[in-house]
Amino acid sequence: MGSLLRTEAQERAALIDVTGYDLALDLDQGEETFGSDVTIGFTCREPGASTFLDVDAESVTSITLNGEPVDPASVQDRRVNLAGLATDNTVRVVAQMRYRQDGEGLHRAVDPEDGKHYVYGMAFLDAGPSIFACFDQPDLKAPYDVRVRAPQDWVVAGNGAVERTGPGQWTLATTPPLATYFVTVCAGPYAVETDEHDGIPLGIYVRASLGDRLREQRDDIFEVTKQSFDYYHQLFGIRYPWGKYDQFFVPEFNAGAMENPGCVTLRDTYVFRGAHTRTQLFTRANTIAHEMAHMWFGDLVTMQWWDDLWLNESFAEYMAHRTTAEATRYDEAWVDFGITRKTWGYGVDRSPSTHPIAGAPAPDAESALTNFDGISYAKGASALRQLAAYVGDEAFLSGVRKHLSDHRFGNATMTDFLGAVEDASGRSLVDWTQGWLRSSGVDDIRLDVEQRDGTITRAELVVTPPQDDPVTRSHVLDLAAVEGGVATGTVRLHAASARTEVPELVGTPRAALLLPNSSDLTWATTVLDEQSLAAVQDALVAAPDPLIRLSIWSALLGGADTGRIDPRRVVQIFGVCWPHETVSSLSDVLGGLVRAFYPYRLVPQHDSAAALATIRDAGRRKLELVDGASPAALAAARLVAATTSDAELLARWAADEGRPTAASGDKDFGWAVVRRSASMGHLDGAQIDRVASADSSMSGHLSELRARAALPTESAKAWAWNQLYGESKLSNYEGLAVAEGFFDGYGENDATELLRGYADRFFAELPEVPQRYGDMAAEKFVIAAFPHRVIEPAVADAARTAIASPDNTAGVRRSLTDALDRLDRALLAHQRFGATASTPVATEG
């Protein structure tokens, strides 16, 4: 039996209502399995009918329905049939479940630093039945009573408030109605920090080995948590409904975080073990605000079926950036959204795998996961931002409050939400919905002007929809005339047709730069005329408004991504302007994007060494401009470390000699240096051993794997390949670390032929990846392990063959499609701009 079909879920929901779960978990049975004993009460509208229960057990001890035994052997394909139902029913399933290492179900991780074990539950999307037998679909919500037995030195928490009732015995308070995919239990020797705000008990948990770091960072985490609570209480008009609020920073987590009511789980890399930048702090704050938004939108009101999963994530994405911008010290939140989240989303929306924000078919639960991407998050949040601008912010918020109030502790659909906004605003959203939610692709926007003697005589904003989905989409946006970096005039437009006149510009001097979408308010590719394009470099250095700078960079990145702008030009502009960028998110993320996607990818091979040197030199110049102890110096040093080929510099930095003060003593920075040295062939496995012996942490272990996989030798690649696909049993994080290092450094050493030989082997091994690493981790693995540095048509052909193969899962095919699109864009750039080398190769000295 495959994934739960929507039709099956509808039939089951029409037949039964679940009245409650009573769950006992025994986590004190060893390292491989745990006990699960669940009793479920439910009613049936048609006595005598049958339904099914979802069970994914290692072994089933017993099943009883209304006191009568059901043969445990009847469990097939994760289901057991329940026949002859009464009006009121009780089913009990006692089973042994297996701990998982793929970040799903009940995941058990071992901290190599101290050997301690940690457990956390991740029931999303369909992993709940591997923890307890259940009716696993989002619209069969019910209250939960949970008891846990665990080793006596562990702490235990979950959705409800917890009470220790005896040695190793824990009882959790009855919850309000929850969807199965929100149920979690976290257990282990976690370090904990507690606080209270507005009557809400607060807890933060992390591995014991990170306890000192948590104590240093607790105040910042609690501050953002409290600020977010205050903002949401004011905004929604509904108090937080889940009692206490725990945040567990857990190891080997696939996502950024998961919004389990009352017990949020987050990846533990958000508790920084060393030096960190403001961008990293913002990302953590934004994630905290995102998950808290879900406590209302997603948890209090839950989607009816997985095809509305986008609305949960779009709403939380939008609210998180709004909250951090307005309620915390991170007033640059919308700048970060533009360069980080929207850049990700644009890449997806320009690719063959694009899909409408809403209305994408989800005939089964698994297919919904394939659309869990930059469209669901970044484009959906942009659409909601547009909706607020379209109907007015107060009408938008009134609709949100009505939606939350009307469907409290229940389920709802997109139609319910939009209906509430229509009622509040008095405006029809039929056309808006069709344009924004039920169509796909990115519109191009440009300003068409005529001028005489330097004065504009005609100005129109031109909107061109994508050829594959040419729907009319309205845009609320700003347009700025920029001279000397300063916006000398800004116009707010509502562009509801292909051409919109801009009379405010007529009769004004033609500015050096005419910039549509100057506040980055809408979702579109900005196409600059040649006169404006010629002015962007000066504007990026001089513009005081970070949204102006963001919008320029968005136009440049989008132009290179679509083959309109030579990627070498983007690198040249980066080299001049990046050292002067002062907003950390824009600086840090942009540095990572240009480094990752330009040399040896978008930039042709014969110009890539020069491009890499330009990026490196930008990092060096920034180090000269900023305080060496500042987070900006750390970001610049990271860029230099990732791009330099200077073996002597890398050796000094690896030995913690001559580093900028901000990176001094930082082990993670040291590992970045080691990884770069390894990929360049400047060190060997024995030298990596020596570094690893001084860092036994989980982070150190993963960094060691990346560095070993990056070594450009036949033996190192053979070892890494065997780790990924041989007999080794890697966790989801370990597999991802090896995959990330495998193709590192291609084109910068003599490993070209060696790596090319592994490209075909990568595609042949793909069907095994989900079985090894789990469905969620597999999609990340495919992107990381894709031979992205081998920019050749043969690799693209092999990817297309793999995408067409039924042997690969839908999630793997989706990740392949996105990776192939990146490769195709690189091939297009090489075709258009790669005929001759255009810049000399810089040298280090």
Helix or strand or coil: residue 544?
Answer: coil
Architecture of domain 1-189: Sandwich (2.60)
Average pLDDT in the 720-726 region?
92
Contact 742, 718 (CB under 8 A): no
CB half-sphere exposure, 246, CA atoms < 13 A: 25
Q: Which residues contact 711 (CB under 8 A, 6 or more apart)?
A: 678, 679, 681, 684, 685, 688, 717
Amino acid identity, residue 705? L
Q: Mean pLDDT across the stretch 264-291? A: 97
pLDDT grade, residue 748 (50/70/90)? Answer: low
Q: Looking at 101-105, 186-190, 445-449, which range is the least confident one?
A: 101-105
Neighbour-count burial for 243-262, b at 16+ CB within 10 Å, e otherwise: bbbbbbbbbbbbbebbbbbb
Sequence-distant (6+) residues with CB within 8 A of 314 are: 357, 376, 377, 379, 380, 381, 383, 384
C-alpha to C-alpha distance for 746 and 608, rounded to whole angstroms: 11
Task: Indicate if the pLDDT at residue 151 is higher than 80.
Answer: yes
Q: How far apart are CA 429 and CA 384, in angstroms?
A: 12
Residue 799 is classified by DSSP as H
- Whether the per-residue pLDDT at 775 is higher than 60: the answer is yes
Fold matches, 1-189 and 302-436? no
At residue 367, the pLDDT reads 80
Phi then psi for residue 80, to 5 deg, are -130, 135
Q: Do 786 and 819 meet the contact criterion of CB atoms below 8 Å apart?
A: yes
Q: What's the mean pLDDT in 630-642?
A: 96
Q: Encode burial over 526-540: b for 16+ CB neighbours within 10 A, e otherwise.
A: bbbeeebbebbbbbb
Strands 455-464 and 499-501: antiparallel
Over the range 720-756, which residues count as b (16 or more CB within 10 Å of their CB) and which as e? bbebbbeeeebbbbbbbbbbbbbbbbbbbeebeebbb
Torsion region of 237: left, alpha or beta (phi above 0 gives left; psi -120 to 50 gives alpha): left
Residues contacting 440, CB < 8 A, separation 6+: 349, 354, 355, 356, 375, 466, 468, 469
Q: How far is CA 136 from CA 4, 91, 173, 179, in A?
A: 9, 15, 22, 8
Q: Does the N-terminal peptide bond of residue 755 adopt cis geometry, omega within 30 degrees of 0?
A: no
| Residue 643 Cα to chain centre, angstroms | 25
Name the token pair of 687: 């030298």
| 612 has pLDDT over 80 | yes
| Average pLDDT of the residues of the chain | 94
CA distance 439 to 652: 53
pLDDT band of residue 381 (cuts 50, 70, 90) is very high
Q: What is the pLDDT of residues 561-590, one digit of tens each?
A: 999 999 999 999 999 999 999 999 999 999
Task: Give the per-residue pLDDT at 670.
Answer: 96
Instruction: Decide if 40 contacts 30 (C-beta within 8 A).
Output: no
Active-site hit among 104, 193, 252, 291: 291
E-strand ranges in 766-822 read none
Separation of CA 557 from chain center: 20
Q: Give yes or no for a contact between 826 and 599, defined as CB atoms under 8 angstroms apart.
A: no
Structure-token match 């991802």, residue found: 736
Max Cα separation, the chain?
A: 92
Global confidence as pTM: 0.95
Q: In Å, what is the CA distance from 48 to each residue of 45, 86, 134? A: 9, 6, 20
Determine which helix (DSSP H) or strand (DSSP E) holds 433, and give its type and residue range: helix 430-436
- Residue-level pLDDT at 840: 40
Confidence of residue 1 (pLDDT cuts 50, 70, 90): low
pLDDT at 836 over 70: no
Query: Catalytic site residue 530?
Result: no
Angle of helix 278-294 relative to helix 309-327, nearest 10 degrees? 130
Residue 845 banded pLDDT, cuts 50, 70, 90 = very low
pLDDT category of residue 839 using cuts at 50, 70 and 90: very low
The residues, ordered by sequence, that sit 6+ positions from 642 with a Cβ below 8 Å of its Cβ are 595, 672, 676
- Say if residue 369's pLDDT is above 80: no
The number of angstroms, rounded, from the C-alpha of 652 to the middle of its chain's C-alpha atoms is 35
So where are the chain's domains? 1-189, 302-436, 443-522+527-561
Residues 392-416: what's their mean pLDDT?
97
Helix (H, G, I), strand (E, B) or coil at 58: coil
Query: CA-CA distances (angstroms) from residue 494 to 391, 396, 763, 775?
Result: 12, 17, 47, 42
**245 and 201 Cβ atoms separated by less than 8 Å:** yes
| Of residues 323, 331, 321, 330, the one with CA closest to residue 227 | 323
Write down the pLDDT at residue 745.
Answer: 64
Distance CA 127, CA 125 (A): 6
Query: How far, in Å, CA of 706 to CA of 679, rounded?
Result: 10
pLDDT in tens, 235-266: 999 999 999 999 999 999 998 999 999 999 99
Q: Which residues contact 534 (CB under 8 A, 6 or more apart)?
A: none
> What's 210's DSSP letter?
G
CATH number of the domain at 302-436, please?
1.10.390.10
Reported as a pLDDT band with limits 50, 70 and 90, residue 622 is: very high
Model confidence at 227: pLDDT above 90: yes
Nearest to 529 by CA among 555, 568, 554, 498: 555
Q: How far is CA 180 from CA 161, 183, 308, 604, 646, in A?
A: 18, 6, 16, 50, 53
Inform me whether the pLDDT recorded for 771 exceeds 90: no
Strand partners for 24: 37, 147
Residue with tokens 């290692």: 58
> Which residue's structure tokens are 């389920």?
411
371 pLDDT more than 80: no
Whether residue 838 is predicted with pLDDT greater than 80 in this model: the reply is no
Q: Are 549 and 510 in contact (CB under 8 A)?
A: no
Using an 8 Å Cβ cutoff, are 144 and 159 in contact?
A: yes
Measure the CA–CA gap between 334 and 583, rounded to whole angstroms: 12
- Note the pLDDT tens digit of each residue in 493-534: 999 999 999 999 999 999 999 999 999 999 999 999 999 999
Kindly report the three-state secondary structure assignment for every residue of 282-330: HHHHHHHHHHHHHCCECCCEEECCHHHHHHHHHHHHHHHHHHHHHHCCC
Residue 297: strand pairing partners: 301
CB 40 within 8 A of CB 133: yes
Cβ proximity of 210 and 697 under 8 Å: no
* Confidence grade of residue 842 (pLDDT, cut at 50, 70, 90): very low
Contact between residue 286 and residue 324 where contact means Cβ atoms under 8 Å apart: yes
Identify the DSSP state of 453.
T
Closest by CA to 240, choosing from 308, 314, 297, is 297
Yes or no: say if 98 and 168 are a contact pair by the CB < 8 Å rule.
no
Cα gap 739→779, rounded to integer Å: 12
- What is the per-residue pLDDT for 759? 87
The string of pLDDT tens digits covering residues 654-668 is 999 999 999 999 999
